[in-house]
Amino acid sequence: MWVYQKKLEYPVRVSGPNPKLAKVIITQYGGPDGELSASLRYLNQRYSMPTDKAKGLLTDIGTEEMAHMEIVATIFYKLTRGVSPEQMQAAGLGGHYAQHNHALFWSDPNGVPWIASYVQATGDPITDLTEDMAAEQKARSTYEHLIQLSDDPCVTDVLRFLREREVVHFQRFGEALNDVQNYLSCKKVF
């Protein structure tokens, strides 16, 4: 169960409409290493974790990734608000406009829709936590690419916040991996 707060984890301001920037940022919404992949991966893997601590961590981080999905959605929405179909087309969002108007949709910048095969759940906690650590690094890299592509300092500020969260999550997943490895090796001995 979740408790909902009617505010974003980090406030989103944009300098003005910018459909070109929106087009690339959508990757963190519905791309392979985006926030939807992250949140669903963690919230699904938690059931097969061997310790309550690991289950709790996956729930916490999966929940935060949902909050990040909300932030990325807000950025895209604000960057395309009031943008005409012609301007959407000129920015490479003609396909998006044709299918979704100004609505949000989980796709990557090339229009490829999100698919469940972006994520895995093997039931092996070592394997799954290692995937989660890789996922945090992939998200960090993607945010760095987006920071390089961003020409809006307000958006860049939010991207920097989200990137730093991935760094923190990597540390936490690493600690969970230490813990689970130790738990499993103790189980073998006794």
Residues that bind other proteins (CB under 8 A): 10, 130, 133, 143-144, 147-148, 160-165, 167-168, 170-171, 173-175, 177-178, 181-182, 185
Neighbours of 29 (CB within 10 A): 24
Which residue type is seen at 99?
A: Q
Q: Considering Cα of 36, then 42, then 47, then 53, what sign does the dihedral take?
A: negative
Q: Give the bridge partners for 107, in sequence order.
A: 113
DSSP state of 157: H
C-beta of 15: minimal distance to other proteins in Å? 18
Helix-, strand-, coil-residue percentages of the chain, each rounded to 5:
70, 0, 30
C-beta of 172: minimal distance to other proteins in Å? 9
C-beta of 155: minimal distance to other proteins in Å? 14
Pick 61 or 88: Cβ nearer other proteins: 61
C-beta of 65: minimal distance to other proteins in Å? 14
Pick 41 or 165: Cβ nearer other proteins: 165
Pick 1 or 186: Cβ nearer other proteins: 186
